[in-house]
Amino acid sequence: ITAARTVIRDSMAALADLGRSPDREPVLEVVRLGVERFNALDGDALEICTIEREDIAEWFNLLAQACGVTDLDDVTAAWRDW
């Protein structure tokens, strides 16, 4: 759980560093990096099941939406293995 929280917090900090109205591509890059970190954790440090998958995806969706990326149903889908 600590590792998962760290990924979310790091992603939040990276998005905050982009400023008030970031461009789409840097936002998606932060999301991609966070999702790939969860890919690395899955099966190693934690087991991501359906409920956790939905929660993690929702966190990234909310973060992306807060940064103006609102046109994707699941911003994690392109990169996640879990």
39-76 residue pLDDT tens: 999 987 778 999 999 999 999 999 999 999 999 999 99
pTM: 0.92
pLDDT at 19: 96
Q: Residue 39's closest CA among 4, 14, 74, 75?
A: 4
* Cα distances (Å, whole numbers) of residue 37 to 40, 41, 70: 5, 6, 23
